[in-house]
Chains A and B, each alone.
Chain A
Amino acid sequence: TQLLEQSPQFLSIQEGENLTVYCNSSSVFSSLQWYRQEPGEGPVLLVTVVTGGEVKKLKRLTFQFGDARKDSSLHITAAQPGDTGLYLCAGRRSGGSNYKLTFGKGTLLTVNP
């Protein structure tokens, strides 16, 4: 059972376009993280959201955590070729196993010049 569903799985857009990636679950998470992974490298943390309804901005990237802490979105404005990569969301549960991250399958983004 995939606890975190990401959509779309693949996204190919032109430079300058806007896009939104979604991460959905039926489970509640104490926090949710977004990572970007490039070929041959490990995932790199972009942001952590912990409060329901929280919005965080990182330059052209806007992250939102759902009010019920079950879903999240990543919006990129005016995408650039350097944004190309695999975007992964990962949720952390509260309680004794809060060290464990549950990952979605990722959204592979290609931004064409």
Chain B
Amino acid sequence: GAGVSQSPSNKVTEKGKDVELRCDPISGHTALYWYRQSLGQGLEFLIYFQGNSAPDKSGLPSDRFSAERTGGSVSTLTIQRTQQEDSAVYLCASSLQGVGAAEQYFGPGTRLTVT
């Protein structure tokens, strides 16, 4: 399909392990966003990419979280030394451009469970 895809769809990991979450944006979309959705919470902004650069990392909750984007396309969100409070659905979105009111298209998310 032509939509945003994310993998894996579900991930169960033990506390202290590292995890990598992948996002494939819509082809041609230069802007990419990561959000976190916890139970009972709205979507929490994590990071914004314009091309391969991340001008806004302000939403990353701690230095255990990092993200990169390569080739202006695929992005990976890495969580090191996972904690139980990291359990959430991680959503990726992309848009044609970052500025202005460009519509963000969301992927189905990765549900992360830290045991």
Query: Which of A42, A90, A98 is B109 in contact with, Cβ under 8 Å?
Result: A42
**Are B43 and A31 in contact, with the CB atoms below 8 A?**
no
Which residue on chain A has the smallest CB distance to residue B93?
A42
Query: Which of A30, A40, A43 is B43 in contact with, Cβ under 8 Å?
Result: A43
A11-19, A70-78, A102-110: which lies at the interface: A102-110
Q: Please tell me if B104 contacts chain A, counting CB pairs below 8 Å.
A: yes
Contacts of A105 in B (CB 8 A): 40-42
How far is A40 from B44 in the complex, measured between Cα atoms in Å?
17
Contacts of B31 in A (CB 8 A): 99
**Are A99 and B43 in contact, with the CB atoms below 8 A?**
no
Contacts of B35 in A (CB 8 A): 103
**Are A100 and B104 in contact, with the CB atoms below 8 A?**
no
Residue among A4, A6, A42, A106 facing the most chain B CB atoms (10 A cut-off):
A42
**Are A43 and B106 in contact, with the CB atoms below 8 A?**
yes
Q: Please tell me if B2 contacts chain A, counting CB pairs below 8 Å.
A: no
**Are A40 and B101 in contact, with the CB atoms below 8 A?**
no
**Are B101 and A50 in contact, with the CB atoms below 8 A?**
yes
Contacts of A102 in B (CB 8 A): 45
How far is A97 from B47 in the complex, measured between Cα atoms in Å?
12
How far is A98 from B100 in the complex, measured between Cα atoms in Å?
6
**Are A42 and B107 in contact, with the CB atoms below 8 A?**
yes
How far is A24 from B47 in the complex, measured between Cα atoms in Å?
25
Chain A contact residues, CB within 8 Å of chain B? 2, 4, 6, 30-31, 40-45, 48, 50, 88, 90, 92, 97-106
Knowing that A88-B43, A99-B98 touch, tell me 6 more A-B residue pairs with CB under 8 angstroms.
Answer: A4-B42, A48-B103, A92-B101, A100-B56, A101-B45, A101-B104
Chain B contact residues, CB within 8 Å of chain A? 4, 9, 31, 33, 35, 40-45, 48, 56, 91, 93, 95, 98-109
